[in-house]
Amino acid sequence: MASAPDTASLLGTVPFFSSLDEKKRKSLVSEGKELSYKAGDIIVREGTMGVGFYLILDGKAEVRKGERILATLGRGQFFGEMSLIDELPRSADVIALSPTKCWALTSWAFAGLVRTNPEVALHMLKEMVKRVRAAQSSPTS
């Protein structure tokens, strides 16, 4: 597992946190936790209550609803925000496609992050809008 300074510099390289200065990133790192998964591991299970927000630091994960693949996410992309925002069960499974390293925040830390960093919240909104548009143009939606 990478040390805290390594995680801070890794977070600095992903667009999600590019609006934060180094000091903020370092303090944020101490609030989260690095988690590693093997290919095939279910990171988030549809229908369960959400307790975490995940940012992929390395690897790839697939968002699946039953047989349907909704998206493939990679380094710098996030998942798990929906359930934390509306406090409803997870909308889909998220499964590691390869050895995958995530940085995870509790729902409590996630709420603090979006409340105190409007740039991060805006970045997340833009990505969520992109996902809605992709779902609208998908032939299976």
CB of 73 to ligand CMP, least distance (A): 7
Token duo for residue 137: 């143009």
Give the DSSP H/E element, type plus range, for residue 55: strand 52-58
- Cβ neighbours, 10 Å, residue 95: 20
Token duo for residue 12: 């600095």
Q: Which of residues 11-40 bind ligand CMP (CB under 6 A)?
A: none
CB of 26 to ligand CMP, least distance (A): 26
CB of 70 to ligand CMP, least distance (A): 4
Give the DSSP H/E element, type plus range, for residue 1: none
- Cβ neighbours, 10 Å, residue 23: 9
What one-letter code names the amino acid at 81? E
Measured at the CA of 44, the angle between CA 43 and CA 49, to 5 degrees, comes to: 145
* Sheet hosting strand 60-65, strand order edge to edge: 42-44, 93-96, 60-65, 68-74
Q: Which of residues 66-125 bind ligand CMP (CB under 6 A)?
A: 70-71, 79-83, 90-92, 94
Q: Nearer to ligand CMP by C-beta: 8 or 78?
A: 78
**Among residues 44, 95, 120, 124, the one that binds ligand CMP under rule CB under 6 A:** 44
131 binds ligand CMP (CB under 6 A): yes
Q: Nearer to ligand CMP by C-beta: 26 or 76?
A: 76
CB of 118 to ligand CMP, least distance (A): 20
* Contact residues for ligand CMP, defined by CB under 6 A: 44, 50, 63, 70-71, 79-83, 90-92, 94, 131, 135
